[in-house]
Chain A
Amino acid sequence: MKRELTFILNGEAVTTEVDPQWTLLYLLREVLELTGTKEGCGYGECGACTVIIDGQAVNSCLFPVMEVEGKRVTTIEGITSKDGSMHPLQTAFINEGAVQCGFCTPGMIMSAKALLDAKDKPTEDEIKEAIEGNLCRCTGYVKIIDAIKSAAGGR
């Protein structure tokens, strides 16, 4: 049985029919075709599917879709300005060499954004804490930390 769901997605109100069994990730990727959010494992262990719900970084692959009712959801597609200019974190990831295969990148950026939204100048430990749930096999994380520091420093 499908049910109606209303929430704020990337700053705009969205009303859509969903199967209550779906995860938020399924709605985003398969129905709304926002494929910037990735599925790396499907059980909350890799962070590739991270989105921000009401300020919190969340694994959308585990998040029951009905629970976003009335909430604000931000995906990687939602942090680029309408004029196409990128979020400072996106720019920093690009300029600091924090992107290799890129599959973890959207989730990594969303985890970092939730951190920077809550805290202007995080310590290195706080950065590590924030992205501990985001796995990356390519970069060794060094330049990802550099990028987050650089984005935080540039604000």
Chain B
Amino acid sequence: MNNLTIVGKKIPKRDAPLKATGSAVYIQDLKIPGMLHGKILYSKYPHARITGLDTSMAEKLPGVRAVVTASDMPANFRIGVMKDNPPLKTGKVLSIRDEIAAVAAISPEIAEEALSLIKVEYEELPGTFDPLEAMKEGAPLIHEEAKSNILKMPWKLVCGDVEAAKKESAFIVEDTFSTPWVTHCCLGTSGCVAQLDAKNNLTLYSNTQIPSLAQNDYIEALNAFGLKGKRVRIVQSVIGGAFGSKLDTYAYEYIAILLALKTRKPVKIVFSREEEFFATSPRQCTITKISHGCDKEGRLTFREMEMVLDNGAYTSWGATTPSVMMLPISSLYKVPNVKYVAKCVYTNNTYSQAMRGYGNPQATFAIESSLDQLAEKAGIDPYELRLKNANEPGEITPQRFKITSCGMKECIDEVVKRLDWKGKKGKGGNRGVGMASLIHVGGGARVYKSDGCGTIIKMDDFGKVDVFTGASDIGQGSETIIAQIVAEVLGIPIDDVNVINNDTDICPWDVGVHASRTTFVAGNAALGAAKKIKAQILEIAAKLLEEEPASLDIKNGVVFSVKNSEKTIPLGKALRKLHYTLGGNMLMAEYFYDPANENFDKEFKGNLSVSYAYGAHGVEVEVDRETGKVKILNYIAAHDVGKAINPMLLEGQIYGGGLMGLGYALGEKMIYEKGYLKNGNFLDYKMPTVKDIPPVQAVIVETDEKDGPFGAKGIGEPGLVPTAPAIANAIYDAVGVRIKDLPITPEKVLAALREKEGQTHK
């Protein structure tokens, strides 16, 4: 591994030149001849009965080519994880993002004008906007046929005996923590272009992060439209950010398909920023009751958590985030007895989805805040408590995760050292330090039946390589990582590797960009294909050079004998010799990598991932007692990544994740009032700007994961997981108040300080 020339290096992102020159084509930039523009009419009310709908005026507007309503959709066609979401609504609307009608017109402006001509009459219904209220008996039912607002997803994990452990614990803490709705804020908004050919085969230009699964969804949709056996091709434009938001298929995409069917023209729907805020699916708000115990020495004895999640009006992957929350709940630090129960609850709010971390940030905020409370009660430094209970290689956790490589202690030590923890902890002066750790899947996650990714490698006559991968690049840099791996194995310059990753017609299957799995899974798939094709090359070259394949290698595109350095043949020459001969051949190889991880069993136990990623974040803060403002003076983010395939891109994931975590901690919140989003714009939704970045260090800890490609593990999501609790813990160290409800706004800090002072004065 010491001889690596491309892996482990700071290689610029392969698509960066396109993006930096403005030549990259995002969905916003895509034009197809004859293309129409679609717009969607959303509900005016979060909960109402539609008593009248008249589209006749809109249909008459010059330039309008089609107006569609629920009656144009196949009856009973539903989308989403629980198939509870008709793409166009009739009868009842359940949230302000409910789609009632849509228009295709020759320009976006005409389509917009047509929407204003559609008349909808509503009878407003009392809504349910608070998940705790929605769980009560007599609360208005969101989905009447479901007979309850609590989803039939009984999330429950029991390991060991929590009740017995409570009795034996020397110290126990209990508290409640809550987190808000937050949204992805992709700079490129959602959108697609639907195009049907003469035989109704569909091409969907899309910015999905799940091309293979989306393809399946649209095939189902075409079936529902009575178009059986049709082909669906997904072509991804350059994707302007995803962060989990594009992990499902959405009503607007089915509406675009419907409009394309009605008009026989390509139809484009691109969201405005306003729509991106209210009509995409964010990270849900949660309320978590947690109790934690330890023995006299500070060894954790149990962890018990009860959680309520606002599912919103329909069901997407947000409802399955408790499955990932179980990961830190059962396995962040060694804790032998664990109990977790979660309820997802329908409300008349927007509906929730995956967002970077997939539930982990919500759970880790409660766990790591509570752990500091426990350390205080037990009279142990929070750092020592963490170190004492830290995960280790070889451990099998209560949820049956097999921990392979684990750099948790090293990460904690990096934080302590670089933050000067011992010099700064508990020193007062309105300054304080805090830390929090994380565990996340780092070697895929078997949430579907397959966690695989396919790769095809094709070589041309000149020794250049095309790599067809199922793995999508959503900005994180998988294209570059895959190119590095292939170039390293084949001994060719990285510029000789071309990665094709955006077309289901030519790219193999992949389960999608989720679970921080792409470097690990797609990397291993690329590695497997590259090794296969390298073996073929060496075999051919061996004949030409009259050598054994085992004594040959490739460097800078030249095959050479390791025994006799005079014996060489350029790769292109060997390939041409193979090709231009009677009965000639061209080189191709394919490899499908599906990690040896396990689906959860019925008790939600099993080795979900082949390896686990660890990290620890530490911050030093200063709190202004007059304003409640929190200033981050120093931020250390240490991550166990197995091996950094590309340290520059990796740091980019840590910095980007860290700042997203900082936004979650200190400012971001979608303000929903009675089902209406009150701050759906960049002015009022406080996404961090460059002015919000603290002094930050990304620390890479390498542990060489045996199953990872060149030793690598995933890093896409971990960066934002421990930020909020690290900051909350630091604030407590600085001024002695604990904020348990994100985001930690100056108002909350000030109120807590006032309350504390009031108590002291009594």
Interface residues in A7-46 (C-beta closer than 8 Å to B): 29, 34-43, 45-46
Interface residues as binary, B384-425 with A (CB distance below 8 Å gives 1, 0 otherwise):
000000000000000000000000000000000000000000
A48 contact set on B, CB distance < 8 A = 187
In the complex, A145 Cα to B649 Cα: how many Å?
A: 15
Q: Are B21 and A140 neighbours in the complex by a CB distance under 8 Å?
A: no
Given the interface pairs A101-B240, A132-B689, A144-B690, the reply to whether A36 lies near B21 with Cβ below 8 Å is yes
Q: Of B13, B188, B273, B693, which contacts A99 at CB under 8 A? A: B13
Q: Are A100 and B477 neighbours in the complex by a CB distance under 8 Å?
A: yes
Q: Residue among A102, A103, A128, A135 with the most chain B CB within 10 A?
A: A102
B273 contact set on A, CB distance < 8 A = 40-43, 46
In the complex, A124 Cα to B596 Cα: how many Å?
A: 48
Given the interface pairs A46-B682, A140-B655, A143-B655, the reply to whether A99 lies near B19 with Cβ below 8 Å is yes
In the complex, A43 Cα to B685 Cα: how many Å?
A: 14
Given the interface pairs A38-B26, A100-B477, the reply to whether A80 lies near B21 with Cβ below 8 Å is yes
Interface residues in B47-85 (C-beta closer than 8 Å to A): none
Q: Would you call the interface of chain B mostly helix, strand, loop, or mixed?
A: loop
Distance in Å: Cβ of A54 to nearest Cβ of chain B: 20
Q: Are B21 and A90 neighbours in the complex by a CB distance under 8 Å?
A: yes
Q: Are B20 and A136 neighbours in the complex by a CB distance under 8 Å?
A: no
Interface residues as binary, B171-186 with A (CB distance below 8 Å gives 1, 0 otherwise):
0000000000000111
A99 contact set on B, CB distance < 8 A = 13, 15-16, 19-20
A102 contact set on B, CB distance < 8 A = 15-16, 18-20, 24, 238, 240, 475
Q: Of A93, A104, A105, A142, which contacts B655 at CB under 8 A? A: A142
Interface residues on A, range: 35 or more
Q: Are B690 and A93 neighbours in the complex by a CB distance under 8 Å?
A: no
Determine whether A60 belongs to the interface, using a CB cutoff of 8 Å to chain B: no
A135 contact set on B, CB distance < 8 A = 185, 187, 682, 687, 689
A90 contact set on B, CB distance < 8 A = 17, 20-21
Distance in Å: Cβ of A152 to nearest Cβ of chain B: 16
Given the interface pairs A39-B28, A43-B681, A143-B652, the reply to whether A137 lies near B20 with Cβ below 8 Å is no
B24 contact set on A, CB distance < 8 A = 102
Which one of B156-164, B360-368, B656-664 is at the A interface?
B656-664
In the complex, A92 Cα to B651 Cα: how many Å?
A: 16
B26 contact set on A, CB distance < 8 A = 38, 103
Closest residue to B207 on the A side, CB-wise?
A: A101
Distance in Å: Cβ of A51 to nearest Cβ of chain B: 11
Interface residues in B475-504 (C-beta closer than 8 Å to A): 475-477
Interface residues on B, range: 35 or more
Q: Are B691 and A77 neighbours in the complex by a CB distance under 8 Å?
A: no
Determine whether B241 belongs to the interface, using a CB cutoff of 8 Å to chain A: yes
In the complex, A39 Cα to B652 Cα: how many Å?
A: 24
Interface residues in B559-576 (C-beta closer than 8 Å to A): none
In the complex, A22 Cα to B547 Cα: how many Å?
A: 70
Q: Are A46 and B690 neighbours in the complex by a CB distance under 8 Å?
A: no
Determine whether A118 belongs to the interface, using a CB cutoff of 8 Å to chain B: no
Q: Of B243, B654, B696, which contacts A137 at CB under 8 A? A: B243
Interface residues as binary, A84-127 with B (CB distance below 8 Å gives 1, 0 otherwise):
00100010011111011111111001000000000000000000
B691 contact set on A, CB distance < 8 A = 128, 132
Closest residue to B273 on the A side, CB-wise?
A: A41
Q: Are A105 and B659 neighbours in the complex by a CB distance under 8 Å?
A: no
Closest residue to B649 on the A side, CB-wise?
A: A97
In the complex, A96 Cα to B651 Cα: how many Å?
A: 11
The 8 closest A-B pairs by CB, nearest first: A36-B22, A102-B19, A101-B475, A140-B655, A103-B240, A140-B659, A76-B22, A45-B682
**New contact pairs (19) apart from A137-B687, A140-B652, CB-CB < 8 Å:** A29-B29, A35-B28, A36-B22, A38-B26, A40-B189, A86-B17, A90-B21, A101-B188, A101-B241, A102-B18, A103-B188, A105-B20, A106-B20, A128-B691, A133-B689, A139-B655, A139-B656, A140-B658, A142-B693
Q: Show 23 residue pairs from A and B whose CB-CB distance is below 8 angstroms, ordered by the A residue.
A: A35-B29, A36-B22, A37-B22, A41-B681, A45-B683, A80-B21, A90-B21, A95-B12, A97-B13, A97-B648, A99-B19, A100-B241, A101-B186, A101-B474, A102-B15, A106-B20, A128-B690, A133-B689, A137-B185, A141-B659, A142-B655, A143-B655, A145-B690
> Which of B's residues lie within 8 Å of A, judged by CB?
10, 12-13, 15-26, 28-29, 184-189, 238-243, 272-273, 474-477, 648-649, 651-652, 654-660, 681-683, 687, 689-691, 693, 696
